[in-house]
Structure 1
């Protein structure tokens, strides 16, 4: 799959599960609206046929201490 195809798939579906090998999967989303209310969305890159670092979409995760701006 090309980078453009992978990005379009995430955009169209909103959220996908992608086989990352060794019987593991990762969920990628179009935007934060597909995350739980307590989660943040981090941009993720995956290798595709034409791009070793394709910005496929976002991955939801719980924030940690370093994510907060304590100014």
Structure 2
């Protein structure tokens, strides 16, 4: 029973680190590769540093009905500012 109790948390840690390793990181990719990934997948979560990530989309189809697209620029391995696609956000409402 004691071995089983130890195995469960170990399995949870392994699953968490496996997820983190599978997430693409723009800092390790070229601008073209990051742009192509978003375009090909349609929507993808990309890391931009330790524990920093966001969801990026290729176009409006991957946003909610109440959301719109805003251009997304990321730092990549070869460029400080690379247009990679869009983020989905609620439209800004201007106050009067």
Please report the TM-score for the alignment, with normalisation by the length of structure 2: 0.65
Structure 1 stretches of 4+ with a deviation exceeding 2 A read none
Q: Deviations over 1:9-40 (max 9, x none)?
A: 00000011011334232000000110001100
Instruction: Quote the offset at 1:51 in angstroms.
Output: 0.9
Give the CA RMSD over aligned residues. Answer: 1.0
Seen in structure 2, the aligned counterparts of structure 1 residues 49 and 22 have a Cα distance that, compared at 3 Å, is closer
Show the 5 A alignment for 1:44-59: 44-59=72-87
Q: Which is higher, the Rg of structure 1 or of structure 2?
A: 2
Relative to total residues, which structure has the larger helix share, 1 or 2?
2
1:7 aligned onto 2:28: no
- For 1:69, the equivalent position in structure 2 comes to none
Structure 2: runs of 5 or more not aligned = 1-28
Relative to total residues, which structure has the larger strand share, 1 or 2?
1
> Hey, what's the Cα distance between the residues in 2 that align with 1:62 and 1:26?
15
Please report the TM-score for the alignment, with normalisation by the length of structure 1: 0.86
